[in-house]
Structure 1
Amino acid sequence: MSDIQDTIQEVIETAPAAPGKEDRLNSAIAIFVALSATFMAICNIKDGNIVQAMAQAQAHSVSKYSQYQSKSTKQNLAETTLALAEMQKAPEATLTHYRDEVARYEKEKGEILAEAKGLEEEYNQLNIHDDQFDMSEACLSVGLALFGITALTRKRWLLVFACCLAGIGVFLGLGGFLGWSFHPDWLAKLLG
C-alpha cells in the first residue's frame, strides 16, 4: 500500500505545473489522493481489529465444540454404565444416578452447542465486515493508482473513473464501520 502511495506522490510532485485548469486538476487530484489514502488507512486499522476478533471467535468456537465432544463422550459412558447396571439389576439409587448423569450431559451439550453456534454466527458477521474492508481497500487502491495516472495524462474522464472507484471504496468502508450487511458476493468471489 505504501509503495502505491509513494509512487502517486512522486507522480503528483513531478507533474508539470501549468497555469489555470491544470493547476486545478492537480489540486483536485491531490485532495482526492489525500482523502482516499487517509480513509483507506483508517479502514485498514479497523479491518485488522476485525481479523483479530474473527480469530478469537473461531478459537472460542473450536473450544466449545471440543467441550461438546467431551460431554458427548461422558454421556456415552454414562449411558453404557446405565445399560450395564440395568442388565445387572443394580439398586434403583444407582440407576437413578446414571439416568440423572445422562440427562445432565444432554442438557449441558445443548447449552454448549448453542454457544458454539452463536460464536460461528459472530464469526460469519465479522467476516462480512472483513470482506467489506478488503473490497474497500481494493477499490481505493485502484482509485489511487488511477489518480496518479490522471496526473500524468490529464484525462478528466480518468479522474471521474478514479473518483467512482474511490467512492465505491468509501461506500464499502462505511458499510464495514456502520455494520451494514451489504455484501457484494460477486466481488468477494472475484477478490477471494
Structure 2
Amino acid sequence: MEVELSAEAKDKRLNRAVAITVVVLSVFTGLCGIKDGNIVQAMQAAQSSSVDLWNEYQATRTKQHLVETARAQVAALAAPGKAAEALAGFDRDSARYRAEAPALSAKARAQADLYDALNVQDDQFDASEAAISTAISIAAVAALVESGAVLAAAWAFGAFGVFMGLCGFLGLAFHPDVLSNLLG
C-alpha cells in the first residue's frame, strides 16, 4: 500500500507541474496574442498608407508627363512670343511635380520598410504561438502517460515559444527564417 501512495504522490507532483506549465504558457500566449493583434493592425495601416502613397506618386509622375507633353505641343504649335505665359505655367507645374515625386517615393518606401519591420515581429509572435501550442499539447500527453521526460520536451518547446514571444515584445532582431520559410 505504501508503494501506491508514493506513486500517487508522484502523479500529483507531475500533474501539478503540468498544470502550472499549461497556465503559465496559456497566459503568456494570451498576452502575445494581444500584442500580435496590435502589430497586425499596424501592418495593415502601413500597407494601406504605402499603397496610397505609391498611387499618389504615380499620379504625380503622370501629371508631370502630361504637363511636359502639353508644353512641348504648345511650344511647337504657337507663334513665337505668343505662348510665353502658357509655357511659363507649364514650367512651374512641371517643376512642382518633379519636386513632389521624390518625397512621395521616400514616404512610400518608409511605409514599406515599417511594414517589413512589423512583419518580423508578427513572425516572432506566430512562432511563439506555434511553439507554445505544441508545448501545451505535449504537456497534456505527459499527464496522460505520467512521464517527466515528456514534460521536459514540453518545457523545451515552451521555452522556445517564450523566447520568441520575448523577442517580439522587446523588438529583438532574432527571426526564425527556417521556420518562416517552411511555413510561409
Q: TM-score, normalised by structure 1?
A: 0.87
Query: How many angstroms apart in 1 are the aligned matches of 2:12 and 2:147?
Result: 14
1:160 corresponds in structure 2 to: 152
Alpha-carbon displacement from aligned partner over 1:12-64 (angstroms, at most 9, x marks no partner): xxxxx953322211111111110001000111111111111111111111111
1:7 corresponds in structure 2 to: none
Tell me the C-alpha RMSD between the 2 structures: 1.5
1:75 corresponds in structure 2 to: 64
Query: How far is the alpha carbon of 1:155 from its aligned partner?
Result: 1.5
SS of match in other structure, 1:79: helix
Query: How many angstroms apart in 1 are the aligned matches of 2:103 and 2:134?
Result: 47
Q: Is the 8 A contact 2:127 2:176 kept in 1?
A: no
Q: Does 1:23 align with 2:23?
A: no
Q: Does 1:169 align with 2:161?
A: yes
2:182 corresponds in structure 1 to: 190
Q: Is the 8 A contact 2:130 2:161 kept in 1?
A: yes
2:35 corresponds in structure 1 to: 46
Query: How many angstroms apart in 2 are the aligned matches of 1:190 and 1:123?
Result: 21
1:114 to 106, 117, 122: 106
Query: How many angstroms apart in 2 are the aligned matches of 1:191 and 1:34?
Result: 27
2:97 corresponds in structure 1 to: 105
SS of match in other structure, 1:20: helix
Letter of the 1:169 counterpart: G
Letter of the 2:47 counterpart: Q
Which has the higher Rg, Structure 1 or Structure 2? 2
SS of match in other structure, 1:102: helix
SS of match in other structure, 2:174: coil
Q: Does 1:127 align with 2:116?
A: no
Alpha-carbon displacement from aligned partner over 1:41-88 (angstroms, at most 9, x marks no partner): 111111111111111111111111111111111101110111112213
Query: How far is the alpha carbon of 1:97 from its aligned partner?
Result: 2.3
Q: Does 1:34 align with 2:34?
A: no
Q: Note the residue ranges of structure 1 that are not aligned, 5 or more in a row.
A: 1-16
Query: How many angstroms apart in 1 are the aligned matches of 2:44 and 2:138?
Result: 34
Q: Note the residue ranges of structure 2 that are not aligned, 5 or more in a row.
A: 1-5
User: How high is the sequence identity, in percent, across the aligned residues?
Assistant: 42
* Correspondences of 1:140-151 after superposition (within 5 Å): 140-151=132-143
Name whichever of 42-51 and 138-147 sits farther off. 42-51
Query: How far is the alpha carbon of 1:94 from its aligned partner?
Result: 2.9
Q: TM-score, normalised by structure 2?
A: 0.90
Q: Does 1:57 align with 2:40?
A: no
2:3 corresponds in structure 1 to: none
Q: Which runs of 4+ in 1 moved over 6 A?
A: none
Query: How many angstroms apart in 1 are the aligned matches of 2:152 and 2:183?
Result: 23
